[in-house]
Structure 1
Amino acid sequence: MDLKLNLLVLRCRDIEASRVFYEHFGIEFEQEQHGSGPVHYAAVFEGLVFELYPLKEGEPADRSRLGFAVNLETDLRESLDAAGIAIVSQYEIDQEPVFVVEDPDGRKVEVRQSEQPRAGWLGGGLDTVPRNCADPGGDFRRGNLYYLSVEANGRDAPV
């Protein structure tokens, strides 16, 4: 069986605040509206559509957890600090730090530096890399976690 994640929709209390938050990781969104549906934001990369929709009145926010592996030319911790994104916790995978932050809706977002830049990403832009989040002892920590790999210059790539 050939299986690929192709759609991720987050319902957000404030889609503008969420858009700004996720753009810190190099994702570039376009505003969309389908017919009389709600205005929302969408980004498309490596066959994945990542959308931010407004949360409906009275609907509870979800507790999804995301992970991003980013290629930055600067120190990741310094980049998070400069963006005003607080680190709520951290741990290590393969002796590399993983910083846990919260998006504007309180979702946990794990951010780590990619192992190494890879040539050939979609026009030097965005790519997805599935990984699981196992601790060094081999115990599964949080089930399957998909890290969306984002290259630092991803804003220059067509989406």
Structure 2
Amino acid sequence: MQLNLLVLRAHDPKGLAAFYAQFGLRFVAEKHGSGPVHMASDTGRAVLEIYPCSEKSAHTGGLRLGFAVAELDEHCRALAGGAGRLVRGPRMTQWGRCATIEDPEGHIIDLTELESTAR
């Protein structure tokens, strides 16, 4: 089994897409049938979609995400220095060097440095 779709709900989908673009994700606006316009990024293994909140579809603020990244320190500076918030700075854990960030919509993101770039 492999995860192939993750949907976030946001008050500002375009703003949240701009935040996640800092990871190198490229978003395009999409609309399927009578559904709302939303932002979508194909990572090659999965699609990350950001839909607007609605009465039928509540905000996904309780969702926790994880990304493996090169250059953990640079990502922390860029993401926390922009619209994000650094929750816990880079540290060694049993999974390697990790940090935790909150995106502008309140989703928690765990960043794990790829082993080949860990210091």
Same fold by TM-score greater than 0.5: yes
After superposition, where does 1:16-31 map in structure 2 within 5 Å?
16-31=14-29
Q: Letter of the 2:32 partner, please give it.
A: H
SS of 1:19 mapped into structure 2: helix
Per the alignment, residue 43 of structure 1 pairs with: 41
Per the alignment, residue 109 of structure 1 pairs with: 109
Q: Which protein is richer in helix relative to its size?
A: 2
* Total equivalences in the alignment: 115
Q: Any gaps of 5 or more consecutive residues in structure 1?
A: 118-159
Question: Structure 1's 55 and 111: CA in aligned 2 closer, same or farther, altered over 3 A?
Answer: same
Q: Letter of the 1:114 partner, please give it.
A: L
Question: Structure 1's 6 and 81: CA in aligned 2 closer, same or farther, altered over 3 A?
Answer: closer
Query: How far has the Cα of 1:57 moved from its partner?
Result: 3.1
SS of 1:88 mapped into structure 2: strand
Query: How far has the Cα of 1:58 moved from its partner?
Result: 7.0
CA distance in 1, matches of 2:97, 2:86: 12
Question: Structure 1's 48 and 110: CA in aligned 2 closer, same or farther, altered over 3 A?
Answer: same
Q: Letter of the 1:89 partner, please give it.
A: R
After superposition, where does 1:63-82 map in structure 2 within 5 Å?
63-72=62-71, 75-82=74-81
Question: Structure 1's 79 and 104: CA in aligned 2 closer, same or farther, altered over 3 A?
Answer: closer
Q: Rg larger in 1 or in 2? A: 1
Q: Any gaps of 5 or more consecutive residues in structure 2?
A: none
Question: Structure 1's 61 and 89: CA in aligned 2 closer, same or farther, altered over 3 A?
Answer: same
Question: Structure 1's 55 and 84: CA in aligned 2 closer, same or farther, altered over 3 A?
Answer: closer
- Percent of counterpart pairs with the same letter? 35
1:7 is matched with which residue: 5, 8, 29?
5
CA distance in 1, matches of 2:105, 2:83: 16
Question: Structure 1's 58 and 8: CA in aligned 2 closer, same or farther, altered over 3 A?
Answer: closer
Question: Structure 1's 78 and 105: CA in aligned 2 closer, same or farther, altered over 3 A?
Answer: closer
